[in-house]
Structure 1
Amino acid sequence: MTGGKSSFTPDDFFRACDVSRETLDRLRVYAALLKKWQKSINLVSPQTVQDMWWRHFYDSAQLAALIPDRAGDLKILDIGSGAGFPGLVLSILGRGSVHLVESNSKKCAFLRQVIRETGARAEVHQSRIEDLPPFAVDYVTSRALAPLDRLLHWVVPFVTPQTICLFPKGQSAEAELKQAQKNWRFSLKKYTSRTEESAMILKLGKIRTLD
């Protein structure tokens, strides 16, 4: 596997993630649409477009290893989906039926086109998470949306005692955990990110408020 960012190719992704050629082809369609739409709307940071297979696709796919392969029968809630990372990647990787929550209408239009052209099992909710009627889910994901304490306030209506939250976090992870633990109790496991040594993935379960 290539160790660099811009040098990380779709074939590197194929080898690193052990996906089928069909799955890789669907992700290539996704990548092509991202490049096309990025010219007119800001889906991702412009500096990351050339590194997208590392910074976005591989970074999202690493969460799949933390979700059991149950023939796609899991229900996943991805909030602040933006360009679809990580939720849409997880859907294409067959981890479950994904509910993508995004308030920006243009980004929602992009997500719907990717779903149509890749056959992803995903549904787009054009809404702020605070305004979405709650429904129970198995997993919650969110990437670079808000501090952990705020995320938990938003997602608690959707979680059950069995729900797992997977939140990629950067260097602020420990500070966010310390703040969140003032208001919440949860089980916790930390995983070092494969794409950034100073980042981690927080796996939270059994989430409940202190009061």
Structure 2
Amino acid sequence: MKHCPSIQTATRTALETFAALLLRWNRTVNLIARRDEPTLWDRHIEDSLQLIPLLPPNLPRAVDLGSGAGFPGLILAIATAIPFDLIEADQRKAAFLREAARLTNATATIHATRIEATNLPPAPLITARALAPLPALLALTAPKLAPNGICLFLKGANATSELTAAAAQWHMRTEQHPSRTNPTGCILRISEIARATPIRDRDPT
């Protein structure tokens, strides 16, 4: 793995098991685009692994929103052994996630339901990839994030415009890190999230 050369042998083996299972399931369940199958490792697996250096130390658990085919949540659970709650409403994708977690011994619990319907303790870390524009993503995230928690979002070329749009609705602290796998992408590390008070609701001064 050119972007993650320090991955241990056991982790690499588990990721290879995951990749083989994904390609097999992808014949009948739309987990990733067929055109992406030859670049599965670079485009999806290593894209997820690049979050590892940004993880807070000693994480007790994390939540991944809209887990889809397991990026980045299941990949991080496999590689770090951090317990992840993976939320995925699509029942077929959730079934894949359960099987992948079982075969790789990943520390992951699958919740086959809508994000808004889950009732989990506030998480110190929330991750997401290709789920929603940032303003909508923050609305999904804020109720589930612990007070001192952080978010790691993998974003594409529209990250800057999404940050501008989100700033009209949310107060937050942001860091923007370049993606090592996508030349037009980035990683947003967001903390201290609070909804901005609409002007009409502010007390007059």
Q: Classify the TM-score, shorter chain.
A: over 0.9
Q: Aligned partners of 1:112 and 1:17: how far apart in 2?
A: 27
Is residue 75 of structure 2 the alignment partner of residue 106 of structure 1?
no
Q: Letter of the aligned partner of 2:151 in structure 1?
A: C
The normalised TM-score by structure 2 is 0.92
Q: Letter of the aligned partner of 2:95 in structure 1?
A: A
Other structure's SS at 2:162 match: helix
Is residue 30 of structure 2 the alignment partner of residue 57 of structure 1?
no
Moved over 3 A (4+): none
Between the two proteins, the alignment pairs up a number of residues equal to 197
Q: Aligned partners of 1:105 and 1:80: how far apart in 2?
A: 12
Q: Of 16, 36, 44, which residue of structure 1 is paired with 2:24? A: 36
How much identity, in percent, do the aligned residues show?
Answer: 37
| 145-154 or 94-103, larger mean C-alpha shift | 94-103
Q: Which residue of 2 aligns with 1:172?
A: 158
Other structure's SS at 1:48 match: helix
For structure 2, the 5+ residue unaligned runs are 198-205
Q: Which residue of 2 aligns with 1:6?
A: none
Conserved? CA contact 1:74–1:95, under 8 Å: no
Say what the alpha-carbon RMSD is for the aligned residues.
Answer: 1.3
Q: Of 109, 112, 125, which residue of structure 2 is paired with 1:126? A: 112
Q: Letter of the aligned partner of 2:136 in structure 1?
A: R
Q: Which residue of 1 aligns with 2:180?
A: 194
For structure 1, the 5+ residue unaligned runs are 1-11
Conserved? CA contact 1:82–1:102, under 8 Å: yes
The normalised TM-score by structure 1 is 0.90
Conserved? CA contact 2:151–2:189, under 8 Å: yes
Alignment map for 1:1-211 (pairs within 5 Å): 12-13=1-2, 16-70=4-58, 73-94=59-80, 96-211=82-197
